[in-house]
Amino acid sequence: MKNIFLIIFSFISLSGLAQMTFSERVEYSELATPKDKSLFFVDFWATWCVPCVHVSSYLNTIQEQFREDLYIVSLTQERSDVVRSFLERHPTKLAVSIDYEGQNFKQHNVRALPYGILFNANGEILWKGNPANITPRMIRSFASKNKQTTPIYDFLKYSSYENEEEITTTLDKDFEIREANIPANSFPVIERINDITSVKGSLSQIVAYLLKVSEKQVTLKDNFTQYQLLIQKNFNHSWKEKEIAHTILKDLGYTLKTEVRAGKILEIHLPESTSAYWDKDQIDWGTKNPKFLVDESQFSADNISVNDFLYKLSDILETPINIKNTQNITAELFDWQLHYQFSDLMLSNLSDLGIEAKETSGNFTRYFIEK
């Protein structure tokens, strides 16, 4: 089994001290003193996140003001070679580390970037939110109330171990589903691992992904078991994904029943040309990264199809989507970024992509997974 860096996030008691474990250190802080700290700030970021770059400049100023009490570490789940290349063009004086597998991101449900969490020396969360909103006055107040200190590298640890769930770059068959020892989440984890798509979640979440519909359109009683579905890249087409859904349900002893209902839908007209779509070079999250990153107002996606893009939009809005001209669906992959929180802005963003969208009433399909 190949040894790779994998991050474990936990707060544990070690001689009375809290501890955080990352997978790889990219840079030490050039601003913080080496003395013991009472406050630790984790800045979650990504190289493709433009607001994160601006926040980094602000955090440099904060770190310089609080050299003695505070230690800031910028944490990304991207590959170290991508990060090092980025830092050559956009240097920072902050500490930078890697969250290999994104375990810290998952642990704290980080879905919006930039995002930050302030801890005291005991690992207690004092503040969280957009780093641009934490002020020097707030830092002073937290420092005055949290006097206990700990050595920087007693609090920040770096470790690696053998990944027992490592996925090889090839599968013996076109797809595979297996039970997964993962916590139940409110949303599925959809990742790209080289040429394989990995979907982790409940059976209803996986079926919703395959059918390209909102999770709200799929019902399964006693939906407690978590699974991981792996799909080869060359098998990743919408009609084949529907075949996968029926096959895995049959293998697991389920049947899929449908029912047409009427209600609120988002009606979509796709353009004949894809010229307004983003090309694949706008966002690059590497060969092993989430396909989607969702925050409270927008979502981004790296190298996904129109079908996957509309699936995610439907799932976020919890609204069925009706594509009126399915003949314009293409298997090409594109990068995407869309604001969804405000309807008018969302419709305008879609229009910029050449996609006509209208919120209306209409028929949609409900799916029922039954034994």
Question: ∠ at Cα 63 (111, 52), nearest 5°?
Answer: 30
Burial of 342 (0-12, 13-18, 19+ CB in 10 A): exposed
38, HSE (Cβ side, Cα atoms, 13 Å): 13
Which one-letter DSSP state was computed for residue 240? Answer: H
* Low-confidence winner among 88-102, 126-140, 166-180, 187-201 (lowest mean pLDDT): 166-180
Strands 39-44 and 70-76: parallel
The parent domain of residue 95 ranges over 20-159
On whether both 144 and 168 belong to a single domain, the answer is: no
Whether 190 is covered by a domain: the verdict is yes
Q: How does the average pLDDT of the chain come out, rounded?
A: 84
Cβ–Cβ under 8 Å, residues 90 and 28: no
Find the range with the poorest average confidence among 211-215, 279-283, 302-306.
279-283
| Number of domain units in the chain | 2
Each residue of 107-137: pLDDT tens digit? 888 877 889 999 999 989 999 999 999 999 9
The reply to whether 132 and 53 lie within a common domain is yes
Q: Which of 159, 180, 201 is the last residue of a domain?
A: 159
Among 132, 159, 186, the domain boundary falls at: 159
Helix (H, G, I), strand (E, B) or coil at 36: coil
Q: Which residues contact 16 (CB under 8 A, 6 or more apart)?
A: none
Statement to judge: residues 239 and 366 lie in one domain:
yes
Instruction: Report pLDDT digits (tens) over 228-252.
Output: 899 887 655 556 888 999 999 999 9
pLDDT band of residue 18 (cuts 50, 70, 90) is low
- Domain stops at, among 159, 182, 216: 159
- In 3D, which of 265, 281, 277 has the Cα closest to residue 309? 277
In a domain, 324, yes or no: yes
Q: Indicate which CATH number applies to the domain containing 89.
A: 3.40.30.10
Q: What is the pLDDT of residue 3?
A: 36
- Beta-carbon contacts of 30 under 8 Å, excluding residues fewer than 6 positions away, are 93, 94
